[in-house]
Structure formats: C-alpha cells, structure tokens
Amino acid sequence: MDSLLFLVHRIPFPPNKGDKIRSFNLLKHLAKGFDVYLGTFIDDPADRENVEPLREFCSEIATFELNPTKRKIASVKGLLHGQPLTIPYYAKPQLHGWVRDVVKANEITDALVFSSSMAQYIDFPMYANMTRVIDFVDIDSEKWKAYAERKSWPASSIYAREARTLFKYEMEIARRFDHCLFVSQAEAELFERLTGIIDGKIGALHNGVDIDYFDPRCEFVDPYPRRVPVLVFTGAMDYWANVDAVCWFAEEAFSAIRSAVPDAEFWIVGSQPSEAVKDLQNLEGVHVTGAVPDVRPFIQYARAAVAPLRVARGIQNKVLEAMAMGKPVLTTPQAIEGINVGPEYEPLITEKIPEMVDIGRTLLKSDHYNSLGVVGRAYVEGQHDWTSQLKKIDTLFTKGTLKT
C-alpha cells in the first residue's frame, strides 16, 4: 500500500467529542487503503493511554506533549510576527523533524492535515510535490469573529485580531494546498465566497454518525434517578460555545419552562464542566454529570435533546447523534446549520427565548413533536452515514476530486 501522512492537532481517540469523532473516523477509513503515519499532540495526560488503541490503524505514531498553559504563553509570539496565535500555539520543532524524516524515509507523497493549525508542518517548498489535502472542518476565523462579538474588551480585541490573521492564513493555505475540505456544503460555499477561490479545490465532507451505535433500538438502563421529564444537552463542557449555550438556556429559558412543568429537569452531560457550568446546579432542576462512559442512555431516556448554541460552525455532532437516537431536538438556527433535515423540523428551531420556552414546555408535556424524532432518524440514515461520506476521501488521492 502507499504511505500517507496524517497530522492531527489532538490525538484522535477516543472518539468522544466533535473533532475526535471526525478525525478518528477519517483515520479508520484511511487505514484501509494506506500505510498511515500519524503525527499528533496530547494535551491531556490521561490521553497517553489512548495511543495504544490507535496502533492497529497506523504504521507509525508520533505523539508530542502539549501543555495548554505553556502553549498559551508561547502563542504570544504570534503578536510579534503578525501571525495568528493559533500557529505558535501548535508549533513544535520536534514534530517538524519527525515529519521531515518520516516523509523522506517512506517516500510519502500523500498527506492529510486535520485543522489549519497543523498545515504549518508541510507548508514548505520541499513538500510542494505531495498531494496535500487539508480538512479545515470549519472556518475557524469566523468562529473567532463570532467570539469577538460576544466578548468585552480586551478579549474582544484579541479575538478580532485572531479572526483577521487566521483568515489570511487560511486563505494562503487554501491556495497552496491541493484540496480543502469542510464539514458542510454551506461552510465550503461560504469559504469560496470569502476567499474568491473557485477553482474546484474546495468541497464538503459531511460529518457522519455510526447509525448502528446510535440506534434507538439499543437497550440501556435508565440513568436518571427520578422518573420525570428530562431535557438533555451533550457535549464537551469546557468548550466556550457549549458553556455559553447551557448557561443561556438554563438561566433564560429553563426556569420558565419549569414553571409550567414543575418536575422537569435539565441534564448537562459532558466532560470537564467549567465552573460556570457547575454553578448551574444551584438552579432548581439542573444537573451536571461531568464525564460519563456512554451518552446514549442519557439521550434515550430524555424526552428531548436541546442544542441552544449561539455560536456554532459547521455541523454539530450532538444534534446528529440525538436525531440518530430518534429524539426531537430543540435547536437554534446556528446549531442546525448544514443539517438539511427539511421544513417539517422548523417548529423546533428558534433563537428567541419565548418561543424556546413554548417549545420546551410542549416537548415535556405532550407527544406533539415525537414524530420529528422519526424524521430526524430517517434523515441521518440517508445523509450522514459515515460509510457513504468517507468514500469521498479516497477519490481525492486517486482522482483528484471529491466525486465518487
């Protein structure tokens, strides 16, 4: 088999959060057709034990420790050199050396880079003859722009600068690399409009869902201690957009929902909850779990899932997974962007608190929206099965196109 270099900003295992789900499924698929050489970072000491499960998919793995506190300090170099802070944050001379050596020793001519922060390792003339594919996933610069709009000074100024400098870098990388992937067609088209790059190298590789794993027919033990109507949110709870979402929903909407459904509960399920998220437990009916071994029981035994994100890019796995489990999802327009489930789902989509309260009450008190759980499951089965999505990646390295 041919050899392929795969560079990922965070170790792609376990597949328990958005970026890891995508990068792991990419790795698993690539291993079927390539000898994969994986270079990645470990930013959590607990992830050291997750290297071994990846060996069955890789010919070689190079991991490098990334201390978030030290890297934040290192990222200040970006201010001195006119770079986005993201680039020095992920800059590691040892990884540069490993990439150079492994490419030369194995005559690697194909490379897939996961996220713009990792493009720096093969953005040199010596790698120009490689087929270089970058999976941007989202337009990260747009995310920083949205953060800037919601933060006060000085954070707003720092985030706005990151948006400007990172967009310039994203555009430069897109022009030099052979192909650029995004998580949705809408995100790909937006990047084309923003950059003016319309030469066919930009395309969409949708996130998928393991529809056999997230199957409403699976049987689980009810994880909720009380038999009461539950709304559930799942996600990494140290991620700012998720923190903002649950705080906004709990403080602005859930108390009003609970006034009509007094025994209702809102469960926030996900690892590493921030202090702001933990404090939400002081509100009546709000529960925070921290990390759980399996989110599926929490989705299965809830009346509905909620995804009240005010800042979101691309496709939200939490929405697809809840849909795959046959649950209606109360969501904002931002959180369902790129998920074209159809007009019948529109009654569950709003960013207005009064409407969110009305929908939440209806979800908890009646079966009015249950049919939309069936609609969501059918949509995921038809449009977001990993197997059909990942076939597209093969043709990038064999035919130079996303078309299968």
**What are φ and ψ of residue 30, in 5° steps?**
-60, -35
Lowest mean per-residue pLDDT among 165-174, 260-269, 340-349: 340-349
Angle at 164 between CA 160 and CA 166, to 5 degrees: 110
**CA atoms within a 13 Å half-sphere pointing along the CA-CB vector of 122:** 34
Confidence check: pLDDT of 404 > 60: no
* Secondary structure element (H or E) that encloses residue 97, with its range: helix 93-106
Domain ranges of the chain: 2-208+385-398, 230-383
13 confidence band (pLDDT: 50, 70, 90):
very high
d(CA 66, CA 154): 26
Q: Tell me the average pLDDT across 126-134.
A: 95
Confidence check: pLDDT of 386 > 90: no
The tokens describing 66, both together, are: 């990334």
**2-208+385-398 and 230-383 have identical folds:** yes
401 confidence band (pLDDT: 50, 70, 90):
low
DSSP H helices, 292-352, are: 296-300, 317-324
Contact 27, 36 (CB under 8 A): yes
Contact 390, 29 (CB under 8 A): yes
- State residue 403's pLDDT score: 59
Q: Give the distance, in angstroms, between the CA of residue 385 and the centroid of all CA atoms in the same chain.
A: 16
First-to-last CA distance in the chain? 20
281 confidence band (pLDDT: 50, 70, 90):
very high
- State residue 151's pLDDT score: 84
% residues pLDDT > 70 (the chain): 99
Contact 264, 228 (CB under 8 A): yes
Contact 131, 397 (CB under 8 A): yes
Q: Give the distance, in angstroms, between the CA of residue 254 and the centroid of all CA atoms in the same chain.
A: 25
Superfamily of domain 230-383: Glycogen Phosphorylase B; (3.40.50.2000)
d(CA 233, CA 269): 6
Q: Return the residue matching tokens 């409009």.
A: 193
d(CA 160, CA 145): 6
- State residue 402's pLDDT score: 63
**What are φ and ψ of residue 203, in 5° steps?**
-150, 180
**What are φ and ψ of residue 199, in 5° steps?**
-95, 15
3-state DSSP call for residue 59? coil
* Secondary structure element (H or E) that encloses residue 202, with its range: strand 202-204
3-state DSSP call for residue 152? coil
d(CA 60, CA 173): 26
Identity of the residue numbered 237 = M
Contact 254, 308 (CB under 8 A): no
- Bridge-based pairing of strands 110-114 and 179-182 is unpaired
- Summarised one tens digit per residue, pLDDT across range 175-199 is 999 999 999 888 999 999 999 988 8
d(CA 220, CA 209): 19
- Domain 2-208+385-398 is in which class? alpha beta
d(CA 304, CA 255): 17
Q: Which residue has the higher pLDDT, 150 or 204?
A: 204
